[in-house]
Amino acid sequence: MQIWHMEPFPCGDRRLPHHVFPPKKITTTQLGALAGVQYYKVDLEDTASMKKRLSAVKTEKNVTFTDVFTVSETMLDFDDKMEQFYEAQTQKEDVISLVVEGTCYYDVEPEDDSWIRVQLEKGDLIVIPKGLSHRFTTTPQNFVKIQRFFSRKVEGTQG
C-alpha cells in the first residue's frame, strides 16, 4: 500500500496518482490518526494467517456478509460505473475491502477538499470508518477484484 496527499483539484485521468508537488507520502499510522482508516496486510498465500486476520476483523466489525466484486472494462456500462464509484460518498457502516487481485485507489477526505489517496494491491485490507467521505477508482489497468465485508446484506450484492 502507498498513501499520499492528492493535489487539491486533480485534472485529467482520475486513474493516475495525482500527487501534490512535491509528493507528500504518509504512513499507515498517520492515515489512521488523520482519518481513522485502518490497514492490514493479509498474506493470501498463507491460509491460516489469512483466516486468522479476517476472523479478527469480522468479529471486531460484526461482519455477517461478504461478497467478491470485480471491476474491469468487461463490466456492462463500465464508464458509467466508474463515474458512480468516483462520486464522494459516506456510508452508515464501515467500508471494509480486501484486494484479492489487481490494484485500485480509495480516496478519503478527512477535511473538506483535502483528499488522501490510498493505493491498494493484492493482500491489502482497508477499513474506512462510517461517516468518512470517500471515493473509489481503478488504476490505468482497469482491473481489481475485491472481497467486501458487511455487517448486513446490502441491496444489490450477490449471495
Give the domain 2-150 fold: Jelly Rolls (2.60.120)
Tell me how far apart the alpha carbons of residues 15 and 74 are, in angstroms, rounded to a whole number. Answer: 17
pLDDT band at 11 (very low <50, low <70, confident <90, very high): confident
The pLDDT tens digits of the residues spanning 103-157 come to 999 999 998 889 999 999 999 999 999 999 999 999 999 999 999 999 876 555 4
Tell me how far apart the alpha carbons of residues 152 and 55 are, in angstroms, rounded to a whole number. Answer: 16
